[in-house]
Structure 1
Amino acid sequence: MDMHAGVNNVECDVCGKAFTRKAALKRHVDMHVGIKNHTCTICGKAFTRKSHLKRHVDMHAGSKNHECAICGKAFTRQGVLKLHMDMHAGIKNHTCAICGKAFTRSSHLKFHMDTHAGIKNHTCAICDKEFTEKGTFKLHMAMHAGIKNHECAICGKAFTEKGALRHHMDVHAGIKDHECDVCGKAFTWKGHLKRHMDMHAGIKNHTCAICGKAFTEKLALKRHLDMHAGIKNHTCAICGKAFTRKSYLKIHMDMHAGIKNHEGAICGKAFNANGSIRHHMAVHAGIKKS
C-alpha cells in the first residue's frame, strides 16, 4: 500500500535516495558498488539492471521503435528520443558555470567542461592530434580513412562531416552571414572570416621553414611549399603548361581565351592579369624594376 501512496520507506546509505521497495534499493546499491550481473552475450558489456541490458541488446538488433514526429529519426530508447525532442524545442537545461554556454544533454556539457580543463583523452594514432570529444575524434579518423558519406546533391562533392556539407550548401545558396567589420566583405564560414580578420591585423602564424616567409593561412603556406618543391598540379588543357596554383592556371586560360579584364586608367591598355597591369602602371609612373 505504501508503494501506491508514494511513501518512501527504505533509504540508500550512500546517497540518501529513498525507495518504496527493498528490491529497488538493492538494485540501486548494486550500482554504487559496481555490481553488474547482466552481461551482453554479443559484446560482453555488463549492466546493473536487466532492463538496461535489454535496451543494449535492442541496439545490437537495430531495433529503433521510438521515432521523432518532426524529422522521422528513430531511436532505440524513449529517453534518447526525449533528448532529441528537446533539441528540436531548443531546450538547453545544462549550462556551463564558466562561460554560460548551454546544452541539451548533460553529456555534451561534460565534454564542454573537458575543453575548459584542457582534457583530451582521444589521440589520433596517425598524426597525434588530440581531441576532447569521441565524436570529433571519430570524424577525424574518418577523414584519414577518406570516408566521405555526405554528398552534395548539386555538384556531387562529398564530405566527411554532415556539418561541412551544410556549410557547402550555404555556398551554393550564396548565404554569407559572417561580415568583416573593417571592410564589409562577407563570408559563408566563420572560420574564413577569422582568417580574413587575421589578414587585417597582420597576423601571420604560418612560416615557411625554407625561406622564412610568413602567411596568414595554413593553405597559403602549403601552396608556397609546393612552389619550393616544384609541385605543379594545375595543367593547361590547351598547351600543357603547368602551374602551382589553380588561380594562376585561370589567368593563363584567360590569356588563351583573349580575356583582358584589367584596363589601364591612363592609356586604356588591357591585360589579362592584375600583376601585368601593376607592372604597366609602374612604367607610367617611371618606376624601373631593379
Structure 2
Amino acid sequence: MHNGAKNHECDVCGKIFTRKCDLKSHMEMHAGVKNHACNVCGKAFTQKVSLKLHMDIHAGIKNHECAVCGKAFHRKPNLKLHMEVHAGVKNHECNVCGKAFTQKVGLNRHMKIHAGVKNHECAVCGKSFTHTGDMKLHMQMHFGIKNHECDICGKAFTQKSHLKLHMQTHIGIKNHECAVCGKSFTQQNSLKLHMDMHADVKNHECAVCGKAFTHKGHLKPHKEMHVGIKNHECAVCGKAFTRKGHLERHMKNHAGVKNHECAVCGKAFTQQSTLKLHMQMHIEIKNHECAVCGKSFTHKNSLKLHMEMHFGIKNHECDICGKALTRKTTLTGHIRIHDCMKNHKSGI
C-alpha cells in the first residue's frame, strides 16, 4: 500500500485500486448501492465523496471559474464541458437530423423532441413541453414576465433568444429570403408567415364576418374594427385607426410622400393599394356594378358615391347659400361659382 502498488482489480470494469476498501466502495457503484444520502434533499449517492461534492451545490460553493466568461461551476468536469462551448466542440451528434451538441445531456434532451416526449404541462393553458425549462419560459408569458429588454428601443421579451432575434431588426440583418418574390426577413418565422401569403393560406377566420387572414396578428386588429377600437390616432388631424400600420400609411399623406408611381401615366401615390386601384382604371377593370342602373365602376368608393345620387343623399352643403350636393368635388365647383359672381360684382 505504501509503495503505491495497485493489487485490487474490479471484476466488472477492470479498474485497479491500491486499497481493498476503495475497491469495495467502487463495487457498490456497480451494484447500485447508495448509502450516502443528502440530509437536505434526500438524494443518495454510492460514494461519500460524491455526497460531499453534492453538498457544495446546496452551500452555493462554486470554486471552478471559466477564464473566458467568468461563469463558475461546482465541479471541475462541468467547467471542462463548459469550455467546449467556447471552443465550439460538438462531439455529440443526433442520428436523426444530424444536429450536433457540445454536451451529451444536450443531445439527450434533443432526442426527446424526435420521440415526441412532452411530460411538462402548463398549469394555465395545458400546453405540453419536452423540457421543463421551455415550460418555465412559457409560464413567464402567462404572467407577463419580460426580463430581457432591448437597449435600443426598450422593448422587452420573455426569452433571451427572442431579444437576440429582435436585435437583428435594428442592425438590418435579413438572412431569410423568399424564393418567390425575393423579399428578405430578419426571422425564419416571418419568412414562413410570408410564404403562407403566396400559398394563399388563411387559417385565421373572424367569428363575426367570416373574413380569413394569413396571420393571426392581422385578425386581432380586424376584430377590434368590429367593436370600434381605434387606439392609433394621428397627431396632425386626429383621425384614429385600428392598426398602427394604417396610421403610418396615413401619415405619409400629411408628409406628401408619394413613392408609388404609375408606369403608364406617371401619376404618383402615397400608398401601394391606391396605385393598384389606379392601375385598374388603365386596364378598364370595372368590377363594381350599380344594382339600380347597371353602371360599372373601377372603385368601390365610386360606386358608393354613385348610389348616393340614386337615393338623393346630399351630405355636402354650401356654407354660402345652403345648397346641398351629392359629392364634395361638385361642392368645390359650386363654391367657385359664388367666387366668380363675387368677383364680377366687385368689378375684378
- Which bin holds the TM-score, normalised by the shorter protein? 0.7 to 0.9
Question: Kindly tell me: are residues 284 and 9 of structure 1, through their superposed partners in 2, closer, same or farther at Cα, counting changes over 3 Å?
Answer: closer
Q: Does 1:190 align with 2:244?
A: yes
SS at match of 1:279: helix
On the 8 A contact 1:95/1:102 being kept in 2, the answer is yes
Task: Report the counterpart of residue 297 of structure 2 in structure 1.
Answer: 243
Bigger drift between 210-219 and 271-280 goes to 271-280
Q: For residues 36 and 241 of structure 1, what CA distance do their matches in structure 2 show?
A: 73
Cα deviation, residue 121, structure 1: 0.5
Aligned to 2:274: 220
Query: Does the C-alpha gap of structure 1 residues 156 and 40 become closer, same or farther in structure 2, counting only changes over 3 Å?
Result: farther
**How many angstroms apart in 2 are the aligned matches of 1:50 and 1:234?**
65
Q: CA deviation at 1:162?
A: 1.0
Q: How far does the alpha carbon of each residue in 1:97-129 deviate from its partner, in whole angstroms, 9 at most, with x for none?
A: 333333221111211221222211001111111
Structure-to-structure mapping, 1:76-95, within 5 angstroms: 76-95=130-149
Q: How has the CA–CA distance of structure 1 residues 17 and 196 changed in structure 2, closer, same or farther, with 3 Å as cutoff?
A: closer
Distance in 1, matches of 2:88 and 2:110, equals 21
1:266/1:10 Cα in 2 relative to 1: closer, same or farther (>3 Å)?
closer
Alpha carbons 1:40, 1:53 under 8 Å: kept: no
Match of 2:309 among 255, 258, 268: 255
Residue 188 of structure 2: aligned partner: 134
Residue in 1 aligned with 2:15?
Answer: none
Contact 1:235 1:242 survives alignment (8 Å): yes
Aligned counterpart in structure 2 of residue 3 of structure 1, from 53, 66, 78: 53
Identity among equivalent positions (%) equals 60
For the aligned residue pairs, the C-alpha RMSD in angstroms reads 2.9
Query: Among residues 274, 281, 286, which one is paired with 2:328 in the alignment?
Result: 274
User: Structure 1 residues 205, 55: closer, same or farther in 2, change over 3 A?
Assistant: same
Distance 1:270 1:149 in 2: 47
Q: Quick check: 2:269–2:275 contact (8 Å CA) kept in 1?
A: yes
Pick from 108, 117, 120 the counterpart of residue 66 of structure 1: 120
Between 192-201 and 126-135, the greater mean CA deviation after superposition: 192-201
Deviates more, 1:118-127 or 1:266-275: 266-275
Q: Does 1:39 pair with 2:89?
A: no
- In 1, are the aligned partners of 2:316 and 2:325 still within 8 Å (CA)? yes
Q: Distance in 2 between matches of 1:44 and 1:146?
A: 33
Aligned to 1:75: 129
The answer on 1:159 being equivalent to 2:213 is: yes
In 2, distance between residues paired with 1:283 and 1:8?
90
Q: How many pairs are equivalent?
A: 286
Over 3 Å counting, the alpha-carbon distance change for 1:269 and 1:61 in structure 2 is farther
TM-score (norm 2): 0.71
Q: Which amino acid aligns with 2:233?
A: E
Q: Which moved more, 1:243-252 or 1:11-20?
A: 11-20
Q: CA shift at 1:176, angstroms? A: 0.7
TM-score by length of 1: 0.84
CA pair 57-159 structure 1, distance change in 2 beyond 3 A? farther
Quote how far apart the aligned CAs of 1:265 are: 4.7
CA–CA separation in structure 2 for the residues paired with 1:270 and 1:250: 17
Which structure ranks higher in relative contact order (CA pairs < 8 Å, sequence separation ≥ 6)?
Answer: 1
Using the alignment, how far apart are the partners of 1:171 and 1:216 within structure 2? Answer: 23
- SS at structure 2 position matched to 1:197: helix
Q: Deviations over 1:11-46 (max 9, x none)?
A: 6676665555566456545554433334243x3434
**Is the CA contact 1:2–1:20 (under 8 Å) kept in the aligned structure 2?**
no
Q: 1:16 to 1:204 in 2, by over 3 A?
A: closer
Partner AA of 1:71 in structure 2: C
Residue 157 of structure 2 corresponds to residue 103 of structure 1: yes
Q: Which amino acid aligns with 2:94?
A: T
Larger Rg: 2
Q: Which runs of 5+ in 2 are unaligned?
A: 1-50, 342-348
One-letter amino acid of the structure 2 residue matched with residue 37 of structure 1: H
